[in-house]
Amino acid sequence: MILAPKSLFRLTLLLLLCAIYVLPQAQAQTKVDLNKLDTYYQKALKDWNVPGMAIAIVKGDSVIFAKGYGVLDNKKGGTVDANSVFGIASNSKAYTAAALATLVDAGKINWKDKVKKYVPNLQLYDPFVTENLTIEDLLSHRVGLKTFSGDLLWYNTTYSREEIIHRMRYLKPTYGFRDGYGYSNLMFITAGQVVENVTGKTWENYIKETFLQPLGMSRTYTSVNELKGVSNVASPHGFDENGNPYATTQVAWDNWNPAAGIFTSVNQQAQWMRLQLNRGMYNGKRIFSENSSRNMWAAHNPMPISKRAEEITPSTHFAAAGLGWFVSDYQGRKLIYHGGGHEGMNSRTVLVPEENLGVVILTNSMSSIMSPLANYTIDQFLEIENSRDWSRFNLDAMAQAKKQSEEKKSKEKKKSAKATRNLNEYVGTYRSQVYGDATITLKNGKLELQLVPAPALGGTLDFWQHEIFNLDWKNKFALLHPTKVRFLTGEDGSIAEMRLDSNNPDFHFDELEFVKVKTNTSAKL
């Protein structure tokens, strides 16, 4: 199905009230066979075992394609269409960067301003970094922390943004300030606080007033809590051990909204792409300046390109973090892009400014289907001869990686039948300077772990070997992976510390470093 909005009607009204029709004007705007793309998307949905997704393409300031595939929920059903609402997660970072751009344009801040000027309680691992961190540093992943460092501070916790920023001081760097790349959600949470402290408005309200209302994005939301009573909303899905999708819970994490909190549809995100491709102009109205657009799309932090990446895409010669975006080259064109990983919802937005082309793919799945579909779509518009079947290429690579993982897992030692230590010796409160408290209790002969800042995170412990237990999470969130709880002994042989070990690509449980609290020394950090 193809969408070509007519200038005589307000676009948002069309999107909300009308179905998606096949309009010959859209196909006339491009040489690309949109029906061929449609067929490719349908096949990929089945091949990747994804419950549902939606895709929109902007070309020449028009939405030439917008369609949904699959179901909103693999148990409850519901058809995905171009107006279905998904979490776009880290695609929200471009909104936060653009919000700061509007403040630069208004003369209220400068890109080179020190963050501490606007967030006085900011304190990082080093006084020099604390005092010299700039707005641009916040948005380009160069503060010195490793990728996803500290993300457990927002995941399912009751911590406010202010408390998260306070606890960042305990995170340890892995490279020098402005001397490497480490993707940081926490810096974007901090950027949201800059917006709030400068404007006197919440980040959510400023985004609505500055972007959503002028662009007619009335079905775009800045919090999970706003989805109550909203129709046509996709459910998040994880994958079980057999690779089958299951619907999971939609959790409100308002503390991370400036980094990843927006929910929208492809029809609505298409308007955002139009604004971006027009360098801050939308239907004749200036939202942010062309200079700010250029700065957001500039290469602020170079990123390495692996040998394998060179082999796969030899036409890519550079990659870098922009401000709320990533930038690279491909087939002689500059790409502006970002992905998003929410609880059970992955997404991707890609812009090709020289072609006035934009692609957005939203899914209710933890799969990486978005990237190959975006790659294939761009290849068609760039008229790449003998274009790779990116979907099949990625599926084959994943199958090989899965085989290797299963071979490694099969070598893992089987658990012992019984712990040698009295289970009561593990019971107690454990404290992490970064995170806060965790408790180990004994109920009905089973040890139970509870992460105190995150009521939804905990579960029962099943003995494996030595002082190590398998953790059976009580909630099957899509972002959680198999986890072991490892206890460490002190000099006297008693249990002194606890670690959570998980081969989780999204969270560093190893940062928590829990130490057992002695009786009557449980004062709050």
Nearest of 508, 512, 490, 488 to residue 498 by alpha carbon: 488
**CA–CA gap between residue 24 and residue 4 (Å, rounded):** 8
Tokens of 283: 């239907």
pLDDT of residue 25: 56
Average pLDDT over residues 381-393: 93
pLDDT at 38 over 70: yes
What average pLDDT does the structure give for the chain? 91
Compute the average pLDDT of residues 466-476: 95
The per-residue pLDDT for range 332-381, each reduced to its tens digit, is: 999 999 999 999 999 999 999 999 999 999 999 999 999 999 999 999 99
Exposure on the CB side of residue 238, measured as CA atoms within 13 A: 13
Over range 152-181, report the average pLDDT.
97
Per-residue pLDDT tens digits for 212-231: 999 999 999 999 999 999 99
In this structure, the number of other CB atoms found within 10 A of the CB of residue 165 comes to: 22
Assess contact for 67 and 55: CB atoms under 8 A.
Answer: yes
Confidence (pLDDT) at 111: 98
Least confident window among 43-47, 253-257, 416-420: 416-420
SS3 state at 293:
helix
Alpha carbons 329 and 320: distance in angstroms, whole number: 10
| Tokens 């250029």 found at | 294
312-316, 465-469, 520-524: least confident range:
520-524
Q: What pLDDT is stored for residue 337 in this prediction?
A: 98
With residue 145 as reference, give the H or E element that holds it.
none
Predicted pLDDT of residue 417: 65
The answer to whether residues 192 and 161 touch, using CB atoms and an 8 Å cutoff, is yes
Which is more confidently placed, 79 or 248?
Answer: 79
- In terms of Cα–Cα distance, which of 524, 475, 467, 476 is closest to 501? 467
CA angle 353, 282, 370 (to 5 degrees): 50
Name the burial class of residue 392, with classes exposed (0-12), middle (13-18) and buried (19+) by CB atoms within 10 angstroms of its CB.
middle
Report the pLDDT value the prediction gives residue 518, as an integer from 0 to 100.
81
pTM for the full predicted model: 0.91
CB 80, CB 233: distance < 8 Å: no
Range scoring the smallest mean pLDDT among 12-16, 180-184, 252-256: 12-16
- The pLDDT of residue 107 is 98
Give the pLDDT score at 17.
Answer: 31
Which pair of tokens denotes residue 67?
């369609």
At residue 23, the pLDDT reads 44
The region of weakest confidence among 122-131, 188-197, 404-413 is 404-413
**CA-to-CA distance for 447 and 461, rounded, in angstroms?**
5
Mean predicted confidence (pLDDT) in 398-409: 77
Nearest to 338 by CA among 317, 313, 358, 315: 358
Q: Which run of H or of E encompasses 74?
A: none
Check the CA dihedral 269-273-274-276 and report its sign.
Answer: positive
Q: What percent of the chain has pLDDT over 90?
A: 85
- Indicate the DSSP class of residue 506: S
Count CB-CB contacts under 10 A for residue 131: 13
**Average pLDDT value for residue range 116-132:** 98
Between 3 and 506, the higher pLDDT residue: 506
| CA pair distance 370, 367, nearest whole angstrom | 8
- Alpha-carbon distance of 20 to 245, in angstroms, equals 28
- Is 7's pLDDT higher than 50? no
Q: What was the pLDDT predicted at 418? A: 80
> Closest Cα to residue 136, out of 370, 22, 298?
298
Q: How far is CA 302 from CA 132, 293, 502, in A?
A: 20, 19, 29
Cα-based distances in Å from 195 to 95, 198, 207, 258, 268: 11, 5, 10, 9, 23
Of 432, 426, 330, 306, give the one whose Cα is nearest residue 381: 330
Q: What is the pLDDT of residue 241?
A: 83
In Å, what is the CA distance from 317 to each residue of 321, 354, 372?
A: 14, 17, 19
Mean predicted confidence (pLDDT) in 47-51: 97
User: pLDDT at residue 78 above 80?
Assistant: yes
Q: Burial code of 41-75, b = ≥16 C-beta within 10 A, e = fewer? A: beebbeebebbbbbbbbbbeebbbbbbbbbbbbbe
Asked if the model's pLDDT at residue 305 lies above 60, the reply is: yes
Candidate from 72-86, 326-340, 410-424 with smallest mean pLDDT: 410-424
Spatial distance between the Cα atoms of 393 and 391, rounded to a whole number of angstroms: 5
CB burial of residue 109 (10 Å; 0-12, 13-18, 19+): buried
Helix, coil or strand: residue 505:
coil
